[in-house]
Structure formats: C-alpha cells, structure tokens
Structure 1
Amino acid sequence: MLRKFKITIDGKEYLVEMEEIGGVPQPVTPVPPVAAAAPMPEPQPAAPTPAPSAPVVSTGDTQGALEAPMPGTIFKILVNVGDTVKTNQPVMILEAMKMENEIVATQDGTVKAIHVSQGAMVNPGDPLLTIS
C-alpha cells in the first residue's frame, strides 16, 4: 500500500510517498461522529514563577574572575576566601553532563572572592572566583 505524507522541515514542505512492506493490513474502524458539545474553556496561563537565582557569596568586582568553561552545577568548592592557591590547583568541581570537571587556578595568588555557591547553576563565562 502506497501512502503519501506531507512533511514540513524548517518551513519547507516536502511530499513523501512511502510503501508499507511486509506488514499485515489492519482493519480500519470508523470513528463515530462526535455530537456538538459545549466549547471547552481555554486554559488560563499560569502565573510565571521566578527562576530561582543562584546564591551569590560575593557580589564584588568580577573583573578578571575565573570563568565557567561550560554550563553545569557547582558540585564542590575546594577553597575559601583568603586561601593561597598555586597555578593548576583544583579550586572547584563543576558537574556537567553527569561528569565531574575540575576547575583549576589559572595563576598563583590569593582567593579574593567566590562568586558562586555549592549547588549553583552556571553558564559559560559566568564568574566563579577571583584570584589576585
């Protein structure tokens, strides 16, 4: 049995013909007509709920802050404000796609501010912490 389908992809319509092979034809059962019913009321849109904002440990200057390399959730913060860190020392764990990724210090210095907290969701480029 040859069947025709009209498919729209990215706003462009395509007419596709498909042949059913090896299938057992199923009997078609007619659908009884539906009696005119009262129109259903349109659902009322739900009040928009504000998205939970990530708690911010420090709202200070984020100029020169270490930035998130990918979207994810802050799984663990390994340093505190005032800690001295060395280049390539892990400072936090970022969970992305069920993988734990170490975020490492890009320079030697002291942690001046932490801009995220554990459990916060971040996007690429979001400031994580400042080392100077």
Structure 2
Amino acid sequence: MIRASMAGTVWKVLVKPGDAVVPGQDVVILESMKMEIPITAEVGGTVTAVKVGEGDFVNEGDVVVELG
C-alpha cells in the first residue's frame, strides 16, 4: 500500500490498475499550501487499485494506491 505522506488535495493520479510501479516512482501528486508534493512508491509491484481521484482530499496516512 502507498499512503499519503501529508494531508492535501489530489492534484494528479499518475498510475492506473495494471500499471507496473518501481521503487521511487511518483504515483500521485498532492497539492497542499500551493505546493505540489509527489507521493512515491517505496516498493515495486503492480497497481491493483487506485483509492483516490483527482480533487479528493486525503489525510496523512490515507491509502492512495494498492500494490499487488
């Protein structure tokens, strides 16, 4: 699971189910306090679910992407 590192609004989702992800790859971009904050994968895998959409608000620790 990839979790939000801080609270913010989802500005852009960069992956979709079925995509392969490598460690260090950006998967979601959050907007917080007029800054763009990338959320990156810490491990590799295949995206099984995207739990957020553009415009959604997330809190720190919320799951944004699930990997299988």
Scaled to the shorter chain, the TM-score interval is over 0.9
Residue in structure 2 matched with residue 66 of structure 1 by the alignment = 2
1:110 is displaced (CA, Å) by 0.3
TM-score (normalizing by structure 1): 0.50
| Separation (CA, whole Å) in 1 of partners of 2:37 and 2:4 | 11
**Aligned AA (1:130):** E
3-state DSSP class of the match of 2:49? Answer: strand
Normalized per residue, the structure richer in strand is 2
Gap runs ≥5 in structure 2: none
Gap runs ≥5 in structure 1: 1-64
Residue in structure 2 matched with residue 80 of structure 1 by the alignment = 16
Residue 52 of structure 2 is aligned to residue 116 of structure 1: yes
1:90 is displaced (CA, Å) by 0.8
Residue in structure 1 matched with residue 26 of structure 2 by the alignment = 90
Q: Which runs of 4+ in 1 moved over 4 A?
A: none
TM-score (normalizing by structure 2): 0.94
What are the within-5 Å matches in structure 2 for residues 1-132 of structure 1? 65-132=1-68
- How many matched pairs? 68
1:131 is displaced (CA, Å) by 1.2
Task: String of CA shifts for 1:40-87, please: whole Å, max 9, x gaps.
Answer: xxxxxxxxxxxxxxxxxxxxxxxxx21111110000000110000110
RMSD: 0.8
